[in-house]
Chain A
């Protein structure tokens, strides 16, 4: 067993055992970290692997959550069925954006603007969609916290913790396999130099579309999780560009294009910002927006000193 896989096994054992000694607050922080790790991993497929910058990933989280949440709210059908509808819709949206961009040669920062535009007008559209609550929000019936209703994904925090832990682990394994496969090589080639990639026989349009579709599908699962964990959805919140930025901060700080960057970035950001707010609350300071300021400072520091993110530097130090 290599050093890296040994470390991974220890980490997995620790996370599986965590609920045994963690209180509810700690468990909710861990759930939040894993949520950002998973979502960051999904975004990383598109940007980190294939080099297509999306600044509108809140779109897929929002659609995923609203669709599965709406199906449950109106018809009482649990997310195991709703998930597939949500996923299909997110893939369709992603493919539409991808087609518009890649077919008409919109790339780089203009592609990013297109992703923002889609997220924004979806937000405005949902404000007028009364069936899903409009600006007043969609509220799912709050879960019974003591029974595990797996069919409807309602239950105690522990259930959500283990679900998101499984999702994060599965996404990590899946991405590790992808990166070592033909798809991983092709995406990285497109990211590094699209013209050269095409000269080597790669249909860049098709492979970029695949990256967008896969990333959208993975992110839709985050949305479903979000809806059933928080039980409320507001267009103003879920589709907000701030949410999209929050998704990408983890992988950017941890290391874009790396497997562990999104996870490390989520840990660093969530743990530090939560302890900062706790600390400030303890000494009696309540500063609104301090979290955003903190994110900005961390981002500046990483861009200035570790432009490839924290993970590559850590991996080098640990000789992984």
Chain B
């Protein structure tokens, strides 16, 4: 469904991503892992239309999407969350989500209904009338997810949404994503450091290091890969 073909991006001479290629199959969940500074978020930003790749192609649904603006990417069916959360602080939780819902819902009541049901699903139902600025960080991460889901994406990009969650909260969110993936066929590409979540969710994993893809495969293959153990997971990692 999504295919990155040898995409590269440099910032003032620093090559953040070099010739990275990977694919996300329709209905699949793919994890993007690697140490800090490996280029994961840069890849997300290229897919989401924030940066244009210096070279390479990004194909979504058989169409070239690299170089489109962020709003065009979203309209094409790719939703995203931000690692550094960006809530609309002055608006209520429900209103935050409604902004996303208006992409496909024409009426205010339609947008409100869709948003309310998404908030229920993510456990934010009781907080829907609070201002977004009053939410805790884990709740803000959930709000990011809710807002992105409200745009009814077919591919969802999750940028470290598990960070800062307690293990039980993490498991709850994993269950939510599994359910949405299973019931609605939502394809997911996630950046995640919480290996517990990656192992539980991802069918395929792509490992980045210094902007290059150093390994890819099933979770079981990747965690045994010597190169991955050396640069990221460490020899002693227990999954």
Smallest distance from the beta carbon of A221 to chain B beta carbons, Å?
27
Instruction: List residues of A (144-186) whose CB comes within 8 Å of B's CBs.
Output: 180-182, 185-186
Q: Among the listed B70, B102, B148, which residue makes an inter-chain contact with A186, where contact means beta carbons less than 8 Å apart?
A: B102
Taking the closest CB of chain A, its distance from the CB of B130, in whole angstroms, is 15
B71 and A201 form a contact (CB under 8 A): yes
Rounded to whole Å, the gap between the CB of B145 and the closest CB of chain A is 13
Q: Which segment of A22-30, A58-66, A187-195, A247-255 sits at the interface? A: A187-195
Given contacts A200-B99, A200-B151, contact A182 B108 (CB under 8 A): yes
Q: Quick one: given A181-B108, A182-B108, A204-B71, are A199 and B82 in contact (CB under 8 Å)?
A: yes
**8 Å CB contact of B102 from A182, A196, A198:** A182
Closest residue of chain B to A207 (Cβ to Cβ) is B71
What 0/1 pattern do residues 141 to 162 of B give for CB contact below 8 A with A? 0000001101100000000000
Interchain CB contact under 8 A, A193 and B87: yes
Residue of A nearest to B77 (CB): A201
Chain A 215-258 residues near chain B, CB threshold 8 A? 257
Tell me the smallest distance from the CB of B224 to a CB of chain A, in Å: 36
A261 to chain B, nearest CB (A): 14
Residues A189 and B82 in contact, CB atoms below 8 Å apart: no
* Alpha-carbon distance between A188 and B103 when the two chains are bound, in angstroms: 15
Q: Within residues 96 to 134 of chain B, which ones have a CB less than 8 A from any CB in chain A?
A: 98-100, 102-103, 106, 108, 111
State how many angstroms separate the Cβ of A174 from the closest Cβ of chain B. 16
Q: Does B95 contact A (CB under 8 A)?
A: yes
Are the CB atoms of A180 and B108 closer together than 8 Å? yes
Is A272 in contact with chain B by the CB < 8 A criterion?
A: no
A–B Cβ pairs within 8 angstroms, 25 of them: A180-B108, A182-B106, A185-B95, A185-B98, A185-B102, A185-B111, A188-B95, A189-B91, A193-B87, A195-B70, A195-B82, A195-B86, A196-B147, A198-B69, A198-B71, A199-B48, A199-B70, A199-B80, A199-B82, A200-B74, A200-B103, A200-B147, A201-B71, A201-B100, A257-B90
Cα of A257 to Cα of B111 in the assembled complex, Å: 22
B100 to chain A, nearest CB (A): 4
Inter-chain contact B74/A199, CB cutoff 8 Å: yes
Q: Apart from A182-B111, A199-B148, list 16 A-B contacts with CB within 8 A.
A: A185-B99, A185-B111, A188-B90, A192-B87, A192-B91, A193-B88, A195-B70, A196-B86, A200-B74, A200-B99, A200-B100, A201-B103, A202-B71, A202-B99, A203-B69, A203-B71
Q: Which residues of B contact A181 (CB under 8 A)?
A: 108
Residues of chain B at the chain A interface (Cβ within 8 Å): 48, 50, 69-71, 74-75, 80, 82, 86-91, 95, 98-100, 102-103, 106, 108, 111, 147-148, 150-151
A180 to B89, CA, bound (A): 18
A181–B103 Cα distance when bound, in Å, is 13
B102 touches A192 (CB 8 A): no
What is the number of residues of chain A that contact chain B, defined by CB distance less than 8 Å?
21
B71, A193: Cβ atoms closer than 8 Å: no
Query: Quick one: given A196-B82, A199-B80, A201-B151, are A189 and B48 in contact (CB under 8 Å)?
Result: no
Check if A188 sits within 8 Å of B88, measured CB to CB. Answer: yes
A192 — nearest CB in chain B belongs to which residue? Answer: B88
CA distance A257 to B91 in the complex (A): 12
B91 touches A201 (CB 8 A): no
- B159, chain A: closest CB distance, angstroms: 11
* Residue pair B108, A197 in contact (C-beta under 8 Å): no
| Least distance between B147 CB and chain A CB atoms (Å) | 6
Which residues of chain B come closer than 8 Å to A186, judged between CB atoms?
A: 99, 102
CA–CA, A185 to B89, complex, Å? 13
> Measured between alpha carbons, how far is A203 from B70 in the docked complex, in Å?
9
Chain A positions within 8 Å of B89 at CB level: 192-193
Task: Give complex CA distance A191, B95 in Å.
Answer: 14
Does A197 lie within 8 Å of B87, measured CB to CB? no
On whether the beta carbons of A189 and B75 are closer than 8 Å, the reply is: no
Which single residue of chain B is at the shortest CB-CB distance from A181?
Answer: B108
Taken together as a complex, chains A and B put the C-alpha atoms of A105 and B63 apart, in Å, by 29
Return chain A residues, CB-CB under 8 Å to B74: 198-201
- B residues less than 8 Å from A257 (CB atoms): 90
- What separation, in Å, do the CA atoms of A196 and B86 have in the docked complex? 6
Residue from A189, A198, A204 within 8 A of B88 (CB atoms)? A189
Query: Could you tell me if B75 and A201 are in contact, using CB atoms closer than 8 angstroms?
Result: yes
